[in-house]
Amino acid sequence: MQRRDFFKKAMTVAGSAAIGGTALEAKEAVETVHPVDNQKVSDVAFPQKRPLITYSDRPPLLESPREVFTSALTPNDLFFVRWHLPIIPTYINPRKFSVKIDGAVKEEMKLSLHTLKTEFKAVEVTAVLQCGGNNRTAFKPTTSGIQWGVGAMGCAKWKGVRLKDVLQKAGLADGASWVGFNGEEKAVYNETADFIREVKIDEIHDDIILAYEMNGEELPYLNGYPLRLVLPGVYSDSWIKMLSHITVTKERQKLHFMDHAYRIPDNDCECETPDNLAPKTKPIEEMNVNSLIGYPQTGIKVKQGAELIVRGIAFDGGHGIKSVQISTDNGTTWHDANLDDGNQGKYAYRAFTYTLKPSESGTLNILCKASNEKGEEQPFAQDIKWNHGGYKYNGIDEVTVEVVA
């Protein structure tokens, strides 16, 4: 499709929703509940997307509906979208695009998209991309940030070049310790900080790549075309889109989006209260073990005595999913679901199925929980403690269906 004036089409999408949270009221009960799960899918689709749950059109903020999450890979046109700053280029010429590498390197350089595709080894990694604030509506009182439901995530097969190979070509100077990443999204006001994220050089591994393809196609424009950073196993805040600048430094930079944003309390429970915020914080990094039922969805009617196949996905930060279990008695007893063979790799979704036959008419609650090879298990929603950013929710999922005779 024509990429020029890309967002002229998107501007017809129905208006933006509030991005920030409401003011916290100390008297409101502090609790965690099941996330909001009834948002309306928009009547209008953004370019290269099917209709999704729309929170804003500037910047584009789109959530995938629950029914998407029944298979190990998320289709590109159903993949969620999250941008931070409102000004995004409406056209990028792939023939002229380049990513600049500078700072504490032996040779500063600009690498074109063509050079990345022809002069570096191409590699693939399948990995989950999840916003750190996914499920934020679970936290009460309301926290700051986009009030996501359950679908600010997706899993794709990413193709590109290893970050290690690009840095090796530039050559690291003595003492180089950090790598910063910046893309093409810009703020309206000059005083607003650029969305720059940093990674420690000694934490860079072979699965961290600069991706130019997603599920066998060039990156969709809204998912970071023509190049984005892929950091498997960690939350999406550092997966910089439209990546155009890589800076190597000897010291950690002072950056707003590293020092103040995407941080949680640095204590054992990673928790605090609205009137007693944690004095010390740490960045959100590795994803928690999590699972989600894609089918059935809440409100669906199913036949008493008929076979019902529950379908969904599970994932974690790369330790590996050990099991997914289903309960139909509100967590009193649990039964193992069937997992796929896991051939997409340790950073990907594991799809699961579980077959049941509802024996009684009325409402039926279906719960799912995942555990990983590290011994971690999803908690009930009420056992997750509050934090001011509404980050890292991974409560046991639940849908409610109506069984009819």
Q: What is the pLDDT of residues 105-137, one digit of tens each?
A: 999 999 999 999 999 999 999 999 999 999 999
Looking at the structure, tell me whether residues 198 and 295 fall in a common domain. Answer: no
In a domain, 1, yes or no: no
Cα 277–chain centre separation: 25
Is residue 146 pLDDT above 60, yes or no? yes
Cβ count within 10 A of residue 107: 10
Q: Which of 228, 258, 283 is the last residue of a domain?
A: 283
Look up residue 82 and give its two tokens. Answer: 């999250």
DSSP 238: G
> What per-residue confidence (pLDDT) applies to 10?
46
Q: Kindly report the average pLDDT of the chain as a whole number.
A: 93
Looking at the structure, tell me whether residues 274 and 299 fall in a common domain. Answer: no
Per-residue confidence at 14, pLDDT binned at 50, 70, 90? very low
Report the CATH number that the domain containing residue 181 is assigned in CATH. Answer: 3.90.420.10
Q: Which of 260, 283, 306 is the last residue of a domain?
A: 283
Q: What is the pTM of this model?
A: 0.92
CA 125/CA 230 separation, integer angstroms = 9
Where do we find the tokens 């990094």?
A: 285
Looking at the structure, tell me whether residues 298 and 339 fall in a common domain. Answer: yes
Looking at the structure, tell me whether residues 265 and 320 fall in a common domain. Answer: no
H-helix segments, 155-214: 163-170
Looking at the structure, tell me whether residues 180 and 304 fall in a common domain. Answer: no
Look up residue 363 and give its two tokens. Answer: 């409402």
Looking at the structure, tell me whether residues 295 and 242 fall in a common domain. Answer: no
CA 233/CA 209 separation, integer angstroms = 13
Looking at the structure, tell me whether residues 366 and 340 fall in a common domain. Answer: yes
Residues 25, 29, 31, 35: is their CA dihedral positive or negative? Answer: negative
Is residue 3 pLDDT above 50, yes or no? no
Question: What is the total count of domains within the chain?
Answer: 2
Looking at the structure, tell me whether residues 169 and 105 fall in a common domain. Answer: yes
Looking at the structure, tell me whether residues 58 and 138 fall in a common domain. Answer: yes
Run of H or E including 402 = strand 397-404
Looking at the structure, tell me whether residues 152 and 210 fall in a common domain. Answer: yes
**What is the arithmetic mean of pLDDT over 180-191?**
90
Looking at the structure, tell me whether residues 114 and 231 fall in a common domain. Answer: yes
Task: Decide: 393 and 134 in contact? Cβ < 8 Å.
Answer: yes
Is the model more confident about 7 or about 399? 399
Report the CATH number that the domain containing residue 329 is assigned in CATH. Answer: 2.60.40.650
- Domain range for 134 is 6-283
> Tell me: the pLDDT tens digits for 348-361?
999 999 999 999 99
CA 381/CA 379 separation, integer angstroms = 6
Neighbouring residues of 93: CB distance < 8 A, sequence distance ≥ 6 = none
User: What per-residue string of b and e applies to 142-158 under the rule 16 or more CB within 10 Å gives b?
Assistant: bbbbbbbbbbbbbbbbb
Looking at the structure, tell me whether residues 299 and 363 fall in a common domain. Answer: yes
> What per-residue confidence (pLDDT) applies to 22?
43
Is residue 385 pLDDT above 90, yes or no? yes
> What per-residue confidence (pLDDT) applies to 31?
96
In a domain, 236, yes or no: yes
